[in-house]
Structure 1
Amino acid sequence: MNRIVELLAFADRLANRIGNALRWLPLTVARLTVGVVFAQSGWGKLHDLAKVTDYFTELGLPAPAFQAMLASTTELVCGSLLLLGLATRFAAVPLMITMTVALRTALWSQIDSLGSLFGLAEFLYIALLLFLATNGAGPLSLDWLIGCVFSAPATTPSAARRTSTALA
């Protein structure tokens, strides 16, 4: 029995070490994935604004031309910021609002349970954006680089790692 407990403790320590070493990976993958989706979507909408305006008119949104421009610009600008890892926490918020509006207006009739809500891509985007808003962009980002440049100078490599982990 002692051997099993020791083996489980070892496996737990190993999993923790691997998880800590790869902490940057889910942040980077989430940021780049959502950034690409929104930057491309915003770019496409801005280049066919009449179609987006017509769709928003069909949905009964007030000021559809303004809202089409706002949503398209938000997606392009905030998606691009996510790709760069610049102002990630702030860029995530307008995108969460945009997706919430999309859920409430365009997709509300499709939602009849938590399962149907959780199955929508827009809800997944909100979850990923919430993850980024609370955890930051990670070390492969301009946010991290700016934090390193403008934070107190680290005197040792280990101090630099602690600083970067705190900022990520």
Structure 2
Amino acid sequence: MSAAPPRSLLRRITETSAPASAVLIRLTVGSVFLSEGIQKFLFPAELGAGRFAKIGLPSPEILGPFVGAVEIACGALVLLGLATRLAAVPLIVVMLVAIASTKVPILVKRGFWAMAHEARTDWAMLLGALFLLIVGAGSLSLDARLARRGASRPPR
């Protein structure tokens, strides 16, 4: 009984079980993160380091630009459908920190419905990124193209 050859790391990252329509989730998640990342640099006092300082995050002058750069890079990768699963991981972390630092205090002070209203975009981005992590970029992506190219090569 021979075991199947091990899949390459690239193949495991790029393969996808998602249909072509997953491009809609990628467009939504990628464009929102790309836009928000750019805005952290365009409006640092309101959306970048200044906002991070206001909500009490540590080292906001470093964290603001860092998060902005992560959102730009990972948002662009998600839009392209390139290394989508890898790009989704930091975006999930960003959303979990955003929810914990900005929405949980609303829940405590103003209740569930106020928090639910304020968290709608955060929740959608978190679930969209989780979806992409689980199923991949879909057949209309660079990931799928790379996976097809890798599948057509003989195993080493």
Q: Kindly provide the CA deviation profile for residues 101-152 of structure 1, in whole angstroms up to 9, marking residues without a partner as x.
A: 1111122222344994485210111111111100000011000011111123
Deviations 1:5-32 (A, max 9, x none): xxxxxxxxxxxxxxxxx9321x110011
Partner-residue secondary structure (3-state), 1:69: helix
Larger Rg, first or second structure (1 or 2)? 1
The answer as to whether partners of 2:103 and 2:115 remain within 8 angstroms in 1 is no
Q: Look up the match of 2:34.
A: 39
Distance 1:113 1:54 in 2: 27
Q: Which has the higher contact order (CA 8 A, sep 6+)?
A: 2
Matches within 5 A, 1:16-55: 23-25=19-21, 27-51=22-46, 52-55=48-51
State the one-letter code of the partner of 1:34: V
What is the TM-score of this pair, normalised by structure 1?
Answer: 0.71
2: CA distance between counterparts of 1:133 and 1:147?
Answer: 16
For 1:158, the equivalent position in structure 2 comes to none
Distance 2:19 2:73 in 1: 26
Q: 1:90 aligns with which of 86, 92, 102?
A: 86
Please state whether the residue corresponding to 1:149 is helix, strand or coil: helix
Tell me, yes or no, if the aligned pair for 2:20 and 2:139 is still in contact at 8 Å: yes
Structure 1 residue 71: Cα displacement = 1.0
When the two structures are aligned, how many residues end up with a matched partner? Answer: 132
| Counterpart secondary structure, 1:107 | helix
- Output one character per residue of 1:36-61: Cα deviation in whole Å (capped at 9) or x when no partner: 11111111212233442111111111
Aligned residue number for residue 55 of structure 2: 59
Identity of aligned residues (%): 33
Runs of 4+ in 1 over 6 A off after TM superposition: none
Query: Whole-Å Cα distance in 2 between the matches of residues 81 and 30 of structure 1?
Result: 13
Root-mean-square deviation over aligned CA pairs: 2.3
TM-score normalised over the length of structure 2: 0.76
Gaps of 5+ in 2: 1-17
Instruction: Pick closer, same or farther for the CA change 1:108–1:36 going to 2, 3 Å.
Output: same
Aligned residue number for residue 68 of structure 2? 72
Point out the structure with the larger helix share: 1
Q: Secondary structure at the match of 1:60?
A: coil
- Which one-letter code corresponds to 1:64 in the other structure? P
